A and B are shown apart, each in its own frame.
Chain A
Amino acid sequence: KAGVTQTPRYLIKTRGQQVTLSCSPISGHRSVSWYQQTPGQGLQFLFEYFSETQRNKGNFPGRFSGRQFSNSRSEMNVSTLELGDSALYLCASSAAGFSGGLETQYFGPGTRLLVL
């Protein structure tokens, strides 16, 4: 099976712009979750989508949003970019979602966003 793919891999934006990142899960997986990693921080949970519905959300401002399509592909959007949004954004897929924490998550390679 093909793994989780993310596009683009690298992105440079300026403050105030918006950006859309894409994640294609492993075939058959219905859950996609998104994480942010900034220098010195562990992965921070953004949100989880399952069957086109956002099921869980982390502690991020409303500038961060996402959606999931019927083929389970997911997009994450960040509006009004700030310098602090510069980070590595990872998505992960699993078959049934968080399921009490027992499901293995499969991560993509990430999108590295630089905000100037």
Chain B
Amino acid sequence: ILNVEQSPQSLHVQEGDSTNFTCSFPSSNFYALHWYRWETAKSPEALFVMTLNGDEKKKGRISATLNTKEGYSYLYIKGSQPEDSATYLCALYSSGNQFYFGTGTSLTVIP
């Protein structure tokens, strides 16, 4: 069982603030990393698939970076909006042919 950790566990920011959170994983077991957004009462929605050291992905105001050598990925949200309120999950795909999920970062954007 691989340990994927996400921090912080929860976050409250004001509308318009930029924010970021972290997904940490054992660097020796990296194949790919996925980020998801999970809004309450909805299905988790895929954001990014990260595969290479130094990989950087962007979708609108959300971007993600990856450092496989040190075992972490950052998710950034620029100018947070209330609709960004959700739990953000990361999932590591590793040599065991399965995904290992973190427990998520719960983001609340206050209008």
Q: Which of B10-18, B54-62, B68-76, B94-102 contacts A (4 or more CB under 8 A)?
A: B94-102
Interface residues of B in 44-85 (CB under 8 A from A): 44-46, 49, 51
User: How many A-B pairs with Cβ below 8 Å?
Assistant: 64
Contact with A along B89-111 (1 / 0, CB 8 A): 10101100111111110000000
Chain A interface size range: 20 to 34
Interface residue SS majority, chain A: loop
Additional A-B contacts beyond A45-B99, A105-B34 (8; CB < 8 A) = A40-B103, A42-B4, A42-B102, A43-B89, A56-B98, A102-B51, A104-B49, A105-B46
Show 12 residue pairs from A and B whose CB-CB distance is below 8 angstroms, ordered by the A residue. A41-B103, A42-B103, A44-B101, A55-B97, A90-B44, A100-B31, A101-B31, A101-B94, A104-B46, A106-B46, A107-B43, A109-B41
Residues of B within 8 A of A (CB): 1, 4, 31-32, 34, 36, 41-46, 49, 51, 89, 91, 93-94, 97-104
